[in-house]
Structure formats: structure tokens, C-alpha cells
Amino acid sequence: DTGVSQDPRHKITKRGQNVTFRCDPISEHNRLYWYRQTLGQGPEFLTYFQNEAQLEKSRLLSDRFSAERPKGSFSTLEIQRTEQGDSAMYLCASSREGDSAYEQYFGPGTRLTVT
Amino acid sequence: AQSVTQLGSHVSVSEGALVLLRCNYSSSVPPYLFWYVQYPNQGLQLLLKYTTGATLVKGINGFEAEFKKSETSFHLTKPSAHMSDAAEYFCAVRNTGGFKTIFGAGTRLFVKA
């Protein structure tokens, strides 16, 4: 059973550095989502892809954040000039095409710590 | 705008006791409603969802939830708690036709032996 995978699982970086996370969705899923979860909170929506097209972005996704999904397969989320406030768990999810009621399957997340 | 309120950031029950986790939502259109569970250092796993039809929804691990439109509620219940139920639980709402899921702040469930 190949679920959603994320790499790395943990990342510690110094303030001001750039980081990039990768998400591999379930193979037949063409929709992919990124969420951010801070301690004691639920996940917050960041962005959504349908195939390679980025269709929705949250205002939380500042200009230091960029997400891509080349060829509609894996996705990367890059944070430039990291700040301590970026410390969080970054979750990726995927779902199959069709009704929006379809389940979003979540990966294990990448925990980012900015020192 | 949609929002989700989970009453109680922490709930503690004894093993074998009833579990009740409360969730209220606001949505301007008919919503899809979800409950997820998250174990430490893991992603979220879907427990159950309401889309249309029967308002009492059964999920995995013996959990169920009832959609009450008049009360804008979607409370999660389990008749008898097990130690393995200790985790964080999130209620979530999504617009029909939309893909952005709005999550509540979560309720951490503690199960005492």
C-alpha cells in the first residue's frame, strides 16, 4: 500500500536559509494539497494543485513560499529566507479526480524547525 | 466564510466510558463534514465523513457522528473508549464543489486505565 510520502520527515535550518520539501502523492491521484500545522492547531490550507496547475493559494502563502508540481506528479514546497515563524509541520495530501467529497489522504508530514 | 469550532481542547475519559467530542461549524452552503485522527508524529487519518444522505455516519474503529443541520453540529461519539483511542481528533468542513478543507483546532483525547 503506497500512500502519500513526504521527504524529509524532519528539517532543522537556520533563519534566513532556504528549504525545499517534497511530496509524492498516491499514484492515481491528480489532486494535491499542502497544509501547514502549528503546535496545538489544526492544519491550515496553503495551496492546491489539479495535475500541474496550481488552482488555489491561501493568503498564508507569502511571496517567500512557492509550490510547484511539474508534470502533475510529485510536488515541492520551497520556503525562502526562513523565519522562526515558519517552524511548523508541513502536510501534503492527495485525492482523486471527481467530486470534492472524495477523501484527501495525508502524508506523514515534514516537521520544520527554524533556529 | 467557513469555520469550525471544537469545544474542549482536551477531553479525558476512562477506558470503557463513552467518548463525546464536540464540533460546530459554520458554512454558507451545504457542507461536507469530516473527522480525522492524528497520532503523534503522523499524518491525519480519516475516521468518517458526511456528504449527503443519512445524517448518522459510521466510521472506523467504532466511531460515529451525527450531522444536525439545525444545530450546525457534527459531534463524534464512541460507546466505549479504548486505550488505543488516545490521540488528537480534528473536525473539518469543506464546501460542496470546493477543495479547501477548514480544520478545527483539535481535541486531544486522553484515556485513563
Q: Residue-wise pLDDT tens for chain A (115 aa)?
A: 579 999 999 999 999 999 999 999 999 899 999 999 998 899 999 999 999 999 988 888 889 999 999 988 999 999 999 999 999 999 999 998 776 667 899 999 999 999 9
Helices (H) and strands (E) in chain B, counts: 0, 11
Inter-chain touch A33–B99, beta carbons under 8 Å: yes
Q: Specify the amino acid at residue A82.
A: T
CB pair distance less than 8 Å for B44 and A33: no
CA distance A29 to A8: 21
pLDDT at residue B42, rounded to an integer? 83
pLDDT mean across residues, chain B: 93
* pLDDT reported for residue A40: 86
Residue B33's pLDDT band (cuts 50, 70, 90): very high
pLDDT recorded at residue A100: 65
Q: How far does the CA of residue B6 sit from the closest CA of chain A (Å)? A: 10
Residues 6+ apart with CB under 8 A from B103: A42, A43, A44, B4, B36, B90, B91, B92
Q: Which residue of A has its CA nearest to B108?
A: A40
- pLDDT grade, residue B82 (50/70/90)? very high
Query: How would you classify the pairing of strands B3-7 and B19-26?
Result: antiparallel
B75 CB-side CA count, 13 A: 11
Rounded CA-CA distance B55/B80 in Å is 21
**Cell 526562513, located at residue:** A82
